[in-house]
Amino acid sequence: MFDIDFWREIFQSINKNRTRSLLSGFTVTFAILLFTILFGLANGLSNTFAEAFVDDAANAVFIRSGATTKAYKGMQAGRRIQFRNEDYKYIKTDFDDNVEFITSRIYKNVAASFRNEKNNYSLRAVHPDHQYLEKTKVYKGRYINQRDMDIKTKVVVIGKLVKEDLFLKVDPLGKYINLSGIPYKVVGVFADDGGDDEERLLYMPLSTAQQVYGNNDYVDQINLTYKPELDFNQAIDFGLDLEKKLKERFLVAPNDQRAVRVFNMAMQNKGITQMTSVLGIIILIIGMGTLIAGIVGISNIMIFIVKERTKEIGIRKALGASPKSIVAIILIESIFITSIAGYFGLLLGVGILEWAGPSLKTYFITNPSVSTSLVISATLTLIGAGTLAGYLPAKKASKIKPIVALRDD
Amino acid sequence: MLEIKQLHKSYAIGDSSLHVLKGIDLSVAQGEMVAIMGSSGSGKSTLLNIIGMLDEADEGDYILDQVPIKNLTEKKAAIYRNKFLGFIFQSFNLINYKNALENVALPLYYQGLKRKERQEKARFHLQKVGLLDWETHLPSELSGGQKQRVAIARALASDPKLLLADEPTGALDTTTSYDIMAFLQQLNDEGKTILIVTHEEDIAAMCKRIVRLRDGVIMEDKKVTQVRAELHV
Ligand SMILES: Nc1ncnc2c1ncn2[C@@H]1O[C@H](COP(=O)(O)OP(=O)(O)OP(=O)(O)O)[C@@H](O)[C@H]1O
Ligand SMILES: [Mg+2]
């Protein structure tokens, strides 16, 4: 039955009944287009969420200090809490079971110069573990290491933009950069996905900075990552426990929100994960909704087409068409139109997403796109629905007595 | 050719039923040209449609070319319609998006002929009805008489044993009607069996036998001397 003549019949019918073909095709194109765009936008939204946290490790915990706001155990309010190296060691040893990487941090602003180029930068003095916490990508040379810590070497690792600012075309490795009058040897250059600000930075061994800036053992902040095998709840419990113990250690009231602050990414992540799954459900509903609308549309059109063709079916039957050939001609035509139209909708949708994608960044939509397989499955679903929707009326039409189909009314 | 015995047909209208054919006995031999007459609503079309297997009788026997037509599957019915029967309708019933040649070739498609063969045969029949020059025209571009001639060519295309025409001239003016009748007579001369439903006496007179229906039974069935249509054209 699927010979060239059969297809000739189909093409003639499609071609000669353009309005009908276009209308039914348009419904499918529109459904797939909408499906693609909505799905793409939703994907873009969840990409934005994912991207917001590529800068830092997803399992990070930041510990900062401030002044107490409450009097506690005979201590006055307004006392400044200062972390020191011993606090770092305390966390590292006492929470060893849960801590993956840990680093202290000191912040400084420095005026840097190399030959004739000068600029001001932020400096972070850190432990070697900091590299993993910040996802720093050293693409030239090396990062701070334990030996630097032990002997307090005067070395720095510079950001890509610092290198571009100060060193221009010169290879910075092994060169000496001047920071507020003291020369430091550049041992590495790094990139960071966190953006320009993260690449306009210098890293220095913590011990070196402590010696140079004040000769003390103060640290501004302690960052760590918890072990990845902890689940959300364990990670949150760990963070709360850490906070509680630190508050005890510094004689800070348990409900003091400023003196010791433990920011736990797990809390954040739990929210994001929930948000993402809500988003996923919304996406699913949108997708289903569009598809159902498409299915209803196609079903209506199929019923309409069969009705419109009833007389033609009667004529064909009077001329000797078998019921099977009647069903086939209607169904194959609809499948053909649906496939082409669906494909067209896919191309259009992907095209629009690609074209509009970059300008949507302002609306928290990053790289909106859909997987081709998803859209193809959607199209196949529509084709299946169209086939099913068309089959019943086509079957019915193929069974009516020719005389009924031919009646002039 | 065909043999009908005690044929009954009723239509359900709401709760009641309308008994249209109340025991028809009719036999038609090969080569006959029969006019079926009767007042409007007497059941002429109903009878012709049953003969043409477009509709089914409720009761009675119908034998077409030695084949009893009863409880046929749709598939079988399709084959018989295609092989034995050619239809001509009052309203032509051409497929509006197919041109004259394609309309004529359609029954041949359902016979499973190759495209080339179909076109050849279709052209032959179009030429027979004098419309070869119009083969690429759509039905909407043809006059009523031309449409009916295309319909006749289509009915003839599959070379049926029996040609059935339901008021073939009903939608045409007198001159064109006689034209069509002349052609049908010519076909009959060549041996084709033809049944024509009409309520026009002059058209009936151009057949060889007139069957009159009234109230669902055959009131009169007589052979007549054929009036040749070409004398009136
Ligand atoms: N499908 C149907 N359902 C119900 N009643 C019908 C149906 N077809 C025909 N009838 C009725 O059956 C009767 C016979 O109809 P038929 O068409 O056979 O008449 P006819 O002799 O061909 O009349 P006309 O000369 O007007 O064409 C009419 O009363 C008509 O109303
Ligand atoms: Mg009638």
Query: Where do the structural domains in chain A lie, given as residue ranges?
Result: 4-52+271-406, 60-265
Starting at the edge strand that comes first in sequence, how are the strands of the sheet with B209-214 ordered? Answer: B85-88, B162-166, B193-197, B33-38, B209-214, B217-223
- Least confident span in A101-105, A264-268, A358-362, B191-195: A358-362
* Alpha-carbon span A154 to A142, nearest angstrom: 14
A158 pLDDT more than 90: yes
Q: What is the pLDDT of residue B36?
A: 96
Instruction: Please give the pLDDT value at position A299.
Output: 80
Q: Under an 8 A CB cutoff, do A311 and B106 touch?
A: no
Residue environment code for B153-175, b if the CB has 16+ CB neighbours within 10 A, otherwise e: bbbbbbebbbbbbbbbbbbbeee
Q: What is the pLDDT of residue A172?
A: 93
d(C-alpha A50, C-alpha A46), whole Å: 6
Of A311, A306, A317, whose CA–CA distance to A389 is shortest? A306
Name the more confident of A365 and A94: A94
Band (pLDDT 50/70/90 cuts) for residue A153 is very high
Q: Which amino acid is at A137?
A: K
Quote the pLDDT of residue A214.
85
| Centroid of chain to Cα A3 | 49
Res A53 pLDDT > 70:
no
B54, B75, B83 ranked by CB distance to A402: nearest: B54
User: Comparing A401 with A155, which gets the higher pLDDT?
Assistant: A155
Which amino acid type is present at position A332?
I
Using CB atoms and an 8 Å cut-off, which of residues 299-358 of chain A contact chain B?
A: 311-312, 314-325
Contact A314 B93 (CB under 8 A): yes
Q: Report pLDDT digits (tens) over A305-359.
A: 888 888 888 899 999 899 888 888 888 888 888 888 888 888 888 888 888 777 6
pLDDT tier for residue A1 given thresholds of 50, 70 and 90: very low
pLDDT value at residue A55: 53
Give the CATH number for residue B218.
3.40.50.300
Atom of ligand 1 nearest to the CA of B167: 27
Closest CA to B226 of B198, B185, B179: B185
Average pLDDT over chain A, rounded to an integer:
86
Q: Quick one: which ligand is closest to A403's CA?
A: 1
* Count of alpha carbons within 13 angstroms of residue B128, beta-carbon side: 22
**CA dihedral (A408, B5, B32, B191) positive or negative:** positive
Report the pLDDT value the prediction gives residue B186, as an integer from 0 to 100. Answer: 93
Question: Band of the pLDDT at A38, cuts 50, 70, 90?
Answer: confident
Q: In chain A, which residues have their Cβ closer than 8 Å to the Cβ of B107?
A: 319-320
pLDDT at A233: 84
* CA–CA dist B135, A51 (Å, integer): 67
- Greater confidence, A337 or A139? A139
* pLDDT band, very low/low/confident/very high, at A408 (cuts 50, 70, 90): low
The answer to whether B23 and B3 are in contact (CB under 8 A) is no
Q: How many Cβ contacts (< 8 angstroms) between chains A and B?
A: 71
Hey, are the CB atoms on A322 and B56 less than 8 Å from each other? no
Q: How far apart are CA A158 and CA A166, in angstroms?
A: 10
In this predicted structure, the answer to whether residue A2 has a pLDDT above a threshold of 60 is no
Looking at the structure of chain B, the number of domains it has is 1
Strand partners, A184: A177
| B43 C-alpha to ligand 1 centroid (Å) | 6
Q: How far apart are the first and last CA of chain A?
A: 32
Per-residue pLDDT of chain B (233 residues; tens, 9 = 90+): 899 999 999 998 888 999 999 999 999 999 999 999 999 989 999 999 999 998 889 999 999 988 898 888 888 888 888 889 999 988 899 999 899 999 999 999 999 899 999 999 999 999 988 899 999 999 999 999 899 999 999 999 988 999 999 999 988 889 889 988 999 999 999 999 999 999 899 999 999 999 999 989 999 999 999 999 888 76
Cα separation values, A245 from A71, A249, B48, Å: 18, 6, 102
Q: What is the pLDDT of residue A308?
A: 83
The secondary structure of A273-292 as a DSSP string is HHHHHHHHHHHHHHHHHHHH
Distance from CA of B106 to the nearest CA of A (A): 7
Please give the distance, rounded to the nearest whole angstrom, from the Cα atom of residue B201 to the centre of ligand 2: 15
A178-206 confidence digits (pLDDT tens): 998 899 999 999 998 877 888 999 999 99
Residue B78 and residue A317: Cβ atoms within 8 Å? yes
What are A101's strand-pairing partners? A225
Distance A405 CA to ligand 1 centre (A): 15
Task: Using a pLDDT cut of 70, give the percent of chain A over it.
Answer: 95
Closest Cβ–Cβ partner in A8, A315, A399 for B93:
A315
Atom of ligand 1 nearest to the CA of B197: 22
Mean pLDDT of A31-44: 82
What residues in A contact B87, CB-CB < 8 Å?
A: 318-319
pLDDT in tens, A274-296: 777 787 788 788 778 887 887 78
* A408–B contact, CB cutoff 8 A: yes
pLDDT at B73: 86
| Amino acid at site A106 | I
Which residue type, as a one-letter code, is found at position A217? D
Which atom number of ligand 1 is nearest to the Cα of residue B199?
25
Query: What is the domain range of residue B67?
Result: 2-231
pLDDT on residue B122: 95
Pocket of ligand 1 (CB under 6 A): B 11, 13, 18, 20, 38, 40-46, 199
Q: How confident is the model at residue A399 (pLDDT cuts 50, 70, 90)?
A: confident
Residue with tokens 């011993």: A86
> Is the predicted pLDDT of residue A129 greater than 70, yes or no?
yes
Average pLDDT over residues A355-366: 71
